[in-house]
A and B are shown apart, each in its own frame.
Chain A
C-alpha cells in the first residue's frame, strides 16, 4: 500500500469528523458526555484544518511569487515582463499592508480601487465572451440539448428583463410565469443531487483508503 501511515491518518480523522456530524451537537458543559467529546475533538480537528488551510494559502502565495520571479529571470522568449509587474504590485501591497494595516481605511480603499476594477473588468469581459459564445452556440453544438438550452436562455432573458412583468398582474399569467420560473429548479435539483452523490462516493473512497491523493 502506498503511504500507509498517511492513509491511516486520513481515515481516522475522516471518521471522527463524520461521526461528530451524526452525533447530536448540543453539548452541555455541565455534563459533557460523549457528545462533548466528539464535539471537542471535531472542533480541534477543524481548527487544525483551518490553520493548515491558512498556511497552505500562504505557501501557495509564496509559491506564486517564486514562479513569477523565475519567469522574470528566464532568458529569451520565456521571460515574462508582466511577472515583474505582478511582483512589484505584490511587494507594494504587502508593504502597504504591513505599514498601514488592513484596518486602515486608506489601505482598504487602495486595495479595493485596484482589485475591484480589475475583477469587474474581467466580469465585463465574461459578458462579452458569453454573448459571443451564445451567438455561436448552435454552430458549435446541435441537438435537442442545445436547442433547449437556447430556448430556455431566450425565455429567461425575457423574464429577467421584466418584459413579462406586466403579465404578472393577470393571475393566470402570473401562475404561468411562476411555473416557468420554477422549471429550471427541477433540473438544477437533479444535477445537484447527482453532484452530491458523486461527492459522497468520492468521500467514501477517501475514507476507505481506496483513493489517496496524498503521496505521504
Chain B
C-alpha cells in the first residue's frame, strides 16, 4: 500500500487518507476554493435530531482543535475526531451553536459552519470561564448544573423523542452572548426545525453546566453535580445538558417516549430498531440506511456501526439503547437516555434493556454512579476540544486513555457518520451524568444510562485504572455548605486547618561535617591540580655534556702537552723546594747499609704507573748508584712485572748519565724478584713471620721451571725480615700501606721503613710517619723531583713538573669557573623571582 507521509508530523498514512490520522493535518493540498473532503457517511441534517447533531458536533469538533494546536494525538482520538468531523461536515452548521446542531438536518456541514458554532461555543465558554487555576477540569461552579436546567434538557430530549423532529430546523441561538463555538451544522440551517423546540433545546443545552464533582480524579471526569450552575464552560453542550435536566429530570409523566422506551424495553437494543414511524427520517439516519457498508467497518471498539435502514433500527442504536438503560427504574433522567429516546420507538420491545451505564460501571465498583445527566455535563470526558474551547487544559492523556482504540482499526478509514451517531459522546460522560442525576435525585424515574458494549469496550478505565481503590469516604462526602456545596470530594476544611502547620523552615545553609569538608578540600585540590600543568622536569641533554667533556679534555691535553714539547728536559723545576719529609727520606736512604739487601715492595697498579714512576725512579737510581742490592716483592699480580720495569727504566736513565752503570750494576746480579705473594696482603702476616715460606718460587726461570729465589745471592743470607736493610714500600693504596705497616713493620725490628706513595694516599699515611712507624715518606711527582734534586740524580721530571703544575692550575680554573657559574646562576634566579613576584 502506498504510503502517504504527513507533511506535518512525517508519519505514514493510508493512501486514501485526506487528513493525517495523527495530527489531523491536511495530507493533500486543497485547491482554491476546495473544501476539505467530507466523509462519505454523512446524513442530511434535516433528518437528524438537532440534539443529536449537537452532540455530534460537540464531540466532533476535535479536528479543528487538533488542527489549531497541531499536537500529536493518539490514534483513537484522531479517529474519533475524524469521524466527528466528518459527521459534522455532513450536517449544516448553524451559527448559533445550539440551534446549529439542533437544526442541523443534513450531513453536509462546512468547515465554516463547524467553526462558527465552535467559535460560539468558545465564546460562551470564555465568558463563562472563571479565572481558575484548574488546568484540567473546569471549576466546580462551571460544572454545576441546576436541576431545572437538567429538567429542561430532559424535556427537550423527550420532545425530540416524541415528535418528529425536524432536524433541519435550527436550534435557537444559545442564550450566552459570547458563544463563539461554531457548530458543525451551523452552515446548514435545518429548515424544518421548529424554532420553539430549538430555542428550548438551545436553552436547556445552554443552561447545562459542567460541574465536576470532585469525588475522585477519575470520577470527576464523569460526575457532574446537579447544582446550580452559573456559567457553562461549554455553552453549547451546557444548553444541551441543561435541557436534559441533569441532576433532575423530567417528571415521570413528562418522560420522553424514547427514554421511556429504554426503561420498558431493556432488551430493545438487541432488536433492530424500528424506523421512525411516519416521521421524516433524519438525514443522518438516512445516511445510515444508505451506507450500510460503512457501518460494517471493522471497528472493534465501535461495534455500533450497523447501518440504519428505514425499516429497522440500527444495531448501534439498539446497543446504545441497551447500554443506556438507567440504573434505577425510576431514574430516567439520564439525558443520554433522553438522547436515544427519539429512537426508542424504533426499538422493539424485545430489545433488551441496555445495560446500566453509570460512572460506577466505568469506574471501579466502589465509585458512585453518576447519572446520565451528570455524564452529559462533564467536560473533560466529552472532548478535549471542548476543554480547549473553555481555554482550560485538560488531561488529554486521561482522555486518550479513556478512548484508546484498538490498533487493528485503520485510523484513516472513513466510516459513515451514521455508524457513529454518538461518536464523541463519552460513555463516561453519560455515566457521570447518570450518577449525578441519581445522586441528586433530581432525575426521578430515569433508568441509568447503560453503555453499549462497544462503548464499554472503548472505555479503558477498567483496564487502565484497574483496581482503582474506591474513593474514600471523605471524597464521597458531599459538601453541604459554602460555595462548594453539592460537590463531592471536597477537602474538608476542618482537617486542613487542623493539619495545617507552619511548614518547617529549612536552612539553606548546607551542613557539612568535618570529614565531608576534608573530602571536599581534597576533591577540589585534585580538580585544581588537574588544571595545573605538570612541571616537566627538563631533561639534561647529553650533547652539551659530551661537548663540554670533550672541551675539557682538549684543554687538559694541550696544557699538559705543550710544556712537554716546549720545555727542556734539563730544566730545573721552579717552585719545587724539597720539604722536610724529602730530606728525612734522603737521610734515611743515606744511612742504608749497602751490604744488606733492601726489600722493595712494589704494590701499585699499572694505572698509577705514571705517577709512581716519577716518584720512585729517582730513589731507585740513587740506590743503584750506591750499589744497593734489592729484593723485590709484590702483593699484586702485576707487581713483579712493574718492579722489573721500574728497575729497567732506572738503569736506562742512569746509563745516559753514567754509561758504566750497566756493568757496575747488573740487574740480574744485584736484584732479585721474589715474586707475587699469593693471597695478597693476607700473606703479609706469613711473610713477616716466615718469609721463606710465604714466597719461594718467584717468577721462575725462562724455561718456566720453578726456581728457589732464596738461593739467589742477594737473599741467600736472609731468613727473617730483620735481615734486610730495610723496607721500601712503593704503593698507591692506603690499605696496602696500612697492611704492610701493621703486619710487617713489627717484624723489621727497627729497620727503616720507607714509603713512596701517591699524592692521594700521603695524607692518610702521614700519621704513621708522625708516629714513627714510617721513617720517611715521599709522595707524588713533587716528592720524586725533590729527591732527585737532593740526590743529584739526573732530573728528568722537570718538564713533567711544569706540565704537572699547569695541569693543577687548569684544574683550579675549572673548579673556580664552576663556582662562578653557580654564583651567577643563583644571582639571576633570585633576581627573576622577585621580578616575577
Contacts and interface: CB of A to CB of B under 8 A. Distances in A.
B679 A134 contact: no
Given A25-B689, A131-B811, A165-B575, A103 B701 contact: yes
19 contacts: A46-B686, A47-B686, A54-B679, A101-B704, A103-B700, A108-B644, A119-B607, A132-B548, A132-B549, A138-B822, A150-B818, A158-B808, A162-B574, A162-B575, A162-B576, A162-B805, A165-B577, A185-B763, A188-B764
Contacts of A39: 689
Contacts of A54: 678-679
Contacts of B553: 128
B415 to A, nearest CB: 87
A132 B552 contact: yes
Interface stretch (A6-14, A62-70, A82-90, A109-117): A109-117
Interface residues of A, number: 56
Of all A-B residue pairs in the complex, the 8 with the closest CB atoms, nearest first, are A50-B679, A119-B607, A161-B808, A162-B575, A101-B704, A138-B822, A135-B818, A103-B699
Nearest to B703: A101
Nearest to A130: B811
A134 B820 CA distance: 12
A75 interface: no
A34 interface: no
Nearest to A26: B689
Interface string B660-700: 00000000000000000011101101100110000000111
Given A168-B577, A188-B764, A102 B818 contact: no
A214 to B, nearest CB: 18
B766 interface: yes
Main secondary structure of the interface of A (DSSP, over half): helix
A119 B815 contact: no
Interface residues of B, number: 64
A147 B814 CA distance: 15
B641 interface: yes
Contact of B812 (A120, A161, A169): A161
A108 B552 CA distance: 35
A150 B819 contact: yes
A85 B808 CA distance: 37
B812 A51 contact: no
A127 interface: yes
Nearest to A57: B637
A122 interface: yes
A157 B700 CA distance: 45
Contact of B556 (A103, A123, A131, A162): A131
Contacts of A134: 811, 814-815, 818
Contacts of B605: 119
A153 interface: yes
B759 A160 contact: yes
Interface of B: 545, 548-549, 552-553, 556, 573-577, 579, 605-610, 638, 640-642, 644-645, 678-680, 682-683, 685-686, 689-690, 698-704, 746, 759, 763-764, 766-767, 780, 782, 804-805, 808-812, 814-819, 821-822, 825
A50 B641 contact: no
Nearest to A142: B822
A119 B642 CA distance: 13
Contacts, number: 161
Most buried by A among B609, B683, B812: B812
A2 interface: no
Given A47-B686, A50-B683, 9 more contacts: A43-B689, A102-B699, A103-B704, A131-B810, A139-B825, A153-B815, A157-B809, A162-B576, A192-B764
Most buried by B among A46, A129, A137, A169: A46
A77 interface: no
A198 interface: no
A118 B763 CA distance: 28
A103 B702 contact: yes
Contacts of A160: 759, 780, 782, 808
A166 interface: yes
Interface of A: 25, 39, 42-43, 46-47, 49-51, 53-54, 101-105, 108, 111-112, 115-116, 118-120, 122-123, 127-129, 131-132, 134-139, 150, 153-154, 157-158, 160-163, 165-166, 168-169, 182, 184-185, 188-189, 192
Contact of A102 (B549, B700, B766): B700
Nearest to A128: B553
Nearest to B801: A162
A101 B702 contact: yes
B576 A108 contact: no
Given A112-B641, A163-B575, A154 B815 contact: yes
A127 B556 CA distance: 9
B699 A51 contact: no
Contact of B606 (A119, A139, A169): A119
A120 B815 contact: no
A51 B641 contact: no
Contacts of A127: 556
A185 B638 CA distance: 31
B678 to A, nearest CB: 5
A185 B686 contact: no
Nearest to B781: A160
Most buried by A among B638, B759, B780, B825: B638
B606 A120 contact: yes
B31 to A, nearest CB: 87
Contacts of A123: 607-608, 610
Nearest to B759: A160
B686 A154 contact: no
Nearest to A166: B575
A158 B640 CA distance: 35
Nearest to A114: B606
